[in-house]
Structure 1
Amino acid sequence: MDKKLRDELLEMFPWVDHTRDINSFDDIYQTVKASPGPYGDMAPRNLAGSGLPEVAGKKEEMFQRITNSLMECLNKYCTDQNTFDAWHKETCLWLTDALECLCKKGIIVKPGKAQKLINMSLKHIFCFDSAEEAALNGTFQFCHVPVDKYLLSWYYREVKGMGTLPDDKLKWGHFEYEEYYRIQLEIRNYLADKKRNLDYIDGKGNPLTPFESEFYVWNEEKLIRTADAFINELNWNNSTKWMKCGTLRNQFKTIFAKIEKKQ
C-alpha cells in the first residue's frame, strides 16, 4: 500500500480517534469497547442481558483479552494469509463463546457477531496516525472485511450476481464461521480476477486487497441506498414542477448540479 491510497481510505472513514497509539494497550482497549465504535457496530443491543451490571466483570475480561489478542496479532500473525486466517478463526470462536456468556440463558451467539467486533477493531486501528508505518509496510493486507448488510448487499449483487436483496436476507450476525469464511474467500477470488474486478484496483492496475476494497464498498453501498430512496421519491412524485418551496427547489438544483459535475 502506498501513502496516497491510505490517505484516501482515511478520508472515507472519519469516525476514528486518529491520535491513538497502535502500541498502547489502553488506546486499543478504549477503541475496542467504544460505542459508537467496534463494540457498538456489533449491535450489542441484540445480545439480551449483556448490559446488566452482574456481567460487567466478564465483559471487562473479554475486552482486555481481545485487546491483548489484537496487539499480538499485529506483532506476530500478519505475516501471511494462512497465519492470519488461523488466528482470526481461533479468536472469533472464543470471542463468540465469551459474548454468549454475557447474555441471558438461552441466547445463542454466532461467529457473525464476533467477526464484526474483531474486524472493525482492526479497521479503526489501521486509521490511527501511529499505524501509518505498519500500514505502508503491509501489516493489514491480510485482514478480513467486516461483514455487515452493506458488504453483503454488494457481495450478493457483484460477486454472486444475485441482484439486490432485501435487508431481511442480509443478517450477518447469524453466520456460522464456515459461511463467514466462505464469503471472505469468494471476495478474495473476485477481486483477484482481473476479468471480473474492473473497479477495485490501484493506480498501477493491481487489485486492491479485500480490506482496502471494503472502505470503498461500504461508502458506495450507503450512497446506493440514498440514491435509490431519492429515485423512488422522484418516481412517486412523477414530477418536481408542483414544488412551491424555494428551499426544496434549490436542493434539487444543487443535487442535479453535483451530478452534472461528476459526469
Structure 2
Amino acid sequence: MKKYLVFIGLCMALMIFHVYSFAETINLEEIIVRGEREVGPEESLEIREVRETPARDVGEALKGIEGISSIRKGAIANDIVLRGFQKDNLNVLVDGARIYGACPNRMDPNSFHVDFAEIEEVSVLKGPFDVKNPGSLGGLIEIKTIKPREGLGGSINALGGSYEDIATSANATYGDKNMDFLFGYAYKYSLPFKDGDGKRITEQYPPSSRNRYKSGEEDNKAYSINTYWTKWGFNLPSNQRVEIAYTRQEADDVIYPYLLMDAV
C-alpha cells in the first residue's frame, strides 16, 4: 500500500513540474520584418512636369502616365481614355466638384475646362477603387487648382511654337491671416498644323467627304481660347474657412476635323 502511495505521489509531482515548466514565460528577441512598400494605383502629375511637355491641355499631358491615352478630335480638347474607359465611366473632379462637358459630341470634354495655369496637381486613380466619389468605374481624374498664398506673389508664363502656336498666362495672388485672393488669365492660339506633305489638317478630306472644309476655310485658326479665373478665401474663427471661386472659359474658335462640326 505504501509503495502504491509513493508511486502516486511521484506521478503527481512529475505532472506539477511538467505543467509549471510549460507555464514559464519565454522572452523572445525583437523581430524586425523589412519589405518594400507597394505602389498603389494612384499616380500624380505636377504642373511643373506639364510645362516641360508640349501638351496643349490636360488630356494630352496625362498621356505621359502609363495606361492613359486620348481621343484627338483636333489640335486641342483631347478626351481622356484610361485603360479603355472613357466619357462618363471616368470621374473628373476639379477641387472636389464633378465636371461635365456640354456638347453630346464631346467637343468640350470635362478636363478641357481647366487651363494649365489654374492647376497645381493632377492625380489619377486607376480602377474602381475610389470609395469617396461615386461613378468611378474606370478611374478618377482629380484636378487640384492653385490656392492663394500668404504675401504678395505672381507668375507669368509664355510659350511659342510652330504654326503660330501661343500659350500665355498670368497669375497674381495676395494673402494675409484674415483673407486671400488670386486672379488669373490665360490665352491660347494656334493655326492648323501641317503633315509631312505640307497639307494642313483641314485639307485632308477629299471633295466627296461630308467632313471637308469649305474653300477658303482651310487656313482658319485651329483654336483661340481665353480663360479667366479668380478665387477668394476668408479665414473665420474656430479654424473655419470660406472660399469663393469663379472661372470663365471662352473657346469661341476651335476646329474639330474629327467631327462633323466646329466651335466657331
Judge same fold: TM > 0.5, yes or no.
no
**TM-score for both structures, normalised by structure 2:** 0.24
Which structure shows the bigger proportion of residues in helix conformation? 1
Q: Specify the structure having the higher radius of gyration (Cα).
A: 2
Between Structure 1 and Structure 2, which shows a larger proportion of strand residues?
2
Which structure would you say has the larger RCO, counting Cα contacts within 8 Å and 6 or more residues apart?
1
Q: TM-score, with normalisation over the residues of structure 1?
A: 0.24
